[in-house]
Chain A
Amino acid sequence: MDKSSATWTLLNWLEPDPERAGKKYEEIRQSLIKLFVWRGCVDAEDLADETIDRVARRVPELVNSYEGNPERYFYGVAKKVFLEYTRQKRLPTTTLPLDTEHPEIDPIQKADEAQTREIMYDCLDKCLMSLNPQARELVLQYYGESKRAKVDFRKNLASHSGLSVSTLRARMYKIRATLEKCIEKCMKEQTSVEK
């Protein structure tokens, strides 16, 4: 079976309705990527795709033999893929220098860091401006408020903004995700220009 017909069979196994099957496929892929990231894998997307490929190869048998929720099956395969990954490639055991004032960073690295931060500031300018005014306002308040009122700052901000805490949290998640994507793209562009 070639790859496209295997994918088609896989989608059909997930849901008979093509549109819903496509949505489910995407959701499973997102869950896989996050699972691998949260387990500390650097190559999360590749591992997610490897998992999907393995499931797709087995679907012709699964259609008749497997009973239950297909998503659970993906999780089972993902665990195997993860085990193999840990055997071949050691997971990062050392932590990254997350504190900005890291004593062991040498001066050259510090200069690079300063330059990267400068690029990031420029990207932030652009990306914040690309948000709609309400979203931009919320980001400015969220990160500004966190400094002023450390305890329960989300609750404080929600009451000031006239939002429920749950709406604020969900909205902040979406805005943060948009900003992350925008900044990642901008950083890549800026870095290639500087090179």
Chain B
Amino acid sequence: MKKKLKGIAPEKTFPGATKILLKMKLTLCVILISFLGAMASESYSQTTKLSLDLKNAKVKDALGAIENQSEFFFLYSEKLIDVNREVNIEVQRSAIEKILDKIFEGTNVNYTIKGRQIVLATPEANNEAGMSSVSQQQKKVTGKVTDSSSASLPGVSVLVKGTTTGVITDSNGNYSLSNVPENATLQFSFVGMKTQEIAVAGKTDINITLDEETVGIEEVVAIGYSTQKKVSLTSSVAAISGKKLAERTVTNIQQTLQGQLPGLTVIDLGAAPGRTNYTMRVRGITTLGNNNPLVIVDGIEQSLDNLNPIDIESVSVLKDASSTAIYGSRAANGVILITTKRAKSGKLSVSYNGYYALQKSNNNPTHMDTEDYMNLQNIAFINSTGAPKYTEDYIKEYVAGTKTDPLKYPLPNTWYQTVFHVAPQVSHSLSVSGGNETIKAVLSLRNQNQDGIIPNSSSKINEMRLNVDYQVSRKITLATNFNYRNQKVIAPVNEGIIYNRMLQLSQFTVPKYPDGTYGISTDGHNPLLYAENAGTANRNVDYLTGDIKGEWEILKGLKFSVQLAGRISLTAEKNFTNSYLIMDYFDKTKVRKSQPVNSLTEVRNDEREFTMNNLLNYTKDIGAHSVNILAGYSQIQNTYRGLNAYRQNFYNNDIQSINQGAFDATKSNGGNDSEWGLRSFFGRLNYAYQDRYLLEANARYDGSSRFTGDNQYSFFPSFSAGWRISQENFWSELKSTVNELKLRASQGSTGNQAVGLYSYIASFSQSEYNFGGVSVPGYGQTTMANKNLTWETTYQTDLGLDAQFLNNRISFSMDYYNKRTEGILLTLPVPGTLGLNPSPQNAGRVDNKGWEFLLGTQNSFGDFGFNGNINLNINDNMVVDLAGTGPYITTNTSQQETRFITQVGYPINSYWGYITDGYFQTDEEVANYPNIRSQIKPGDVKFIDLNGDKMISPLDMTYLGRSFPKYTFSSSLNFTYKNFALTALIQGASGYYARVGGALAEMGIWGSFTSKYVTNNYWTPENRNSRLPRPLKSDNRNINFADRDRINGAYLRLKNIQLSYKIPSSLTKRIRIEQMSIFVATTNLLTFSDLNELEVDPESVGRTQDYPQTSLTSFGLNINF
């Protein structure tokens, strides 16, 4: 690969843009075609034209030639049809009927064409049935085939076993088969379903339900650029079906994935509507920077946010180097592959999924009682100033007043009751799916409205998806996906201050007086005012993706495919800050709070990304050897443009158009542009011998615009092997117990290119200054450049074992992995003396070692069914090397804030602080001890002088444990009884500490929320063995971050429980509904955690000053027509 040297090439921008436009036009064209195509289409037999030129050929060969040239296949009995008869046929582009007429001219053979299937029969068939034993009773068998949701299954092949006699179910799933011997066995098969065999045994009416083939080891899973049978996997991939995911009512897909897949840790951080907030990690923390896994939806990199859970067909998590190396430079944090649903041919099916849910806050700490709080404050004031704040009489008067005159004597803090409310969430999804042999389409529509649990907060999503598959010719298929989503999000402007002020600086305030006047705290705040009246931030996002994929089967087993995709995200924001004037409720002449200037910031962001994937795939079986080769080329181009504008002093708060703001020096605007590109070559080789010995090799050669010079390209190889012991002859005796056993091993490397753009360019940014009242520009370098920047590389070894017991009743899987990340991309803190912001560098090494276990079972006992699984992940993270630098400790402006350290020998981002030894109990003890500050008294925290230098300083801080879970576990349990199903997901994490900072840790030192758990839980001379130190006012000496602030983060929770009921079809049929089920579900119903005492959700973090975690209780309905 030749290096091209940079320089400025402005003239290049235009042709590129035209090309992009062209691509877009093509994509749109294809999307339109797919629309039209899906609406009007002809049947396969009408559209297919065949040419044959056969001299003295046997009928058998003629039929074979037709099968080769088309997708028709014949069903006939050689006993009835003389296929060795010779015929002469010469036709050009003729319809199948014409050809068949010619072939069977002059015979009594008649044919029936059903889609691609052609059944040949003779009138004698009724009498002879093609079976040797004429004495046998022959019967007509009829029935209906349905799937597990009672929906009828058209197109199922029903075959008399051992013969070629068979039919295909009609559009209602019904079939009728004549002349079936009484002792025959019927075989029902359908793509994606488990094949079933039923003995006729004299029955004339056989109805059957086919089960989906997604469970157990026969499962097919999505892997990079392809799919693979799970039995043939040699790498570590966890997968789950969309159907299973759809069982949970959630707002976003991340919540759905939580606790479902071994090796994937999802921490739900709670999220305001439209602002998902979560942490996703595949096998722990690989790097010091961006640890987000790569997400690929239908072959294209996309974000998981807002993807419609109903559209998902399957999710695969690629974990080891062998499975991820094919994604090269973006794969080090694991890859999440998502495929969306595609239509099956057959009758049009329409389904509706909807729910109504109520959300409530999961973070609702209770404030201390008024009297307890005032007493605590008095003790704090006495300890700090020598005098109490309140007299005994005042406390009595106040406490009585809170009951009789709450407007004059407001409770200390009622914000959790007044700002948060229960909020509804409604979702409707409608999906229409169907097609014929040539065109199949699935259209889905979604409308989701979510209100926030605070005022002025909501999200509305409207979206459509159209996935169409075309059988262009026997060898060429086209698939198009089109997804448009509009999301409107509203939130209070400057939302963060609401949660902050609920905890800080707003004690003893009436939220709202009877006449609507807001109360203002002595510090000038009211979070309810901020939520309701400070203005709103409106965000409108139009998200559009479209792709077209063509596949051409050049030769048998050799396929070439091209995929072109465009993704556009347009964001428009309107953030309006209201002006307002709040007067005193009791003295209407007095201004309590004013915001004199209103203002508007408008933002427009435009991001476009174009991807092309070209793949060549070759599959060949030679005897016991099977080979699969994949070669590919891929490129991605991304451009981003941003623009913003600001004005203030609008006529009133309702005039929110940028042009109406003051046209003076206060108006301003700004913007930014960027682009990046990625170009890749990759390949994979699979080899299997007797399906028993499996080998795989992967490689990717990636070039990225984020690096320069020789560092632009990098190579990522991987190898893996598997041994299916259960296929060995010596295993046959054990096969009834252990029907499947496989050992896997893989090793390889992957990369991470997640650094800021242009990190290698020493760029000057503009600053403003002014002289003589006139603004002047300044130019200077603010960030250091790093020309040597390159990928970080993760080397991973994985050893795995998969087993199935008792005919798949029990399954077990385990993996051990050892991941070593080298040349970590690290934005190292740099000395202040450098005077520049740091740029990312390749430095250091981090190890992740871990185990993953999955145990599953599925059983049924009559009407009862049970299946469940447990998975457990253990991850041990360790910084091995920081290239001679470090430690890196977070800098905090305040000493009570949580400190994290990244240092050799500790897990990334470990806690770092003081060790304590209870509280001082006597003055003598204080006198004989080095103190953190002057005037230490009994009841203060005794910090340990770890380095023995007779003073307490930051040098005495030490490692205080992990901040990221070492163990995560989950279990999903499904019970079914007749039409009822009960599903529960239990999930948890342990092996780490949590730290709740801010007000909840400060016990009223400042004028802040003081939790109920503080009540009588603090040091006084009478209560020396308390949990908390002596109260102080405006003095944080006792809350310097230390071991005593840690809380065991372990939790176990009933994440989701759902009860559903399938209404008997005998009832629903009367209203023409194929199948209908209703459910009720709730999330976060029960939690075991040390944080319960603080009434804080265990998944919350830091100061708990964010939109809280919520619990969702939902009622839903699923209907298939």
A is bound by B: no
Chain A contact residues, CB within 8 Å of chain B: none
Chain B contact residues, CB within 8 Å of chain A: none
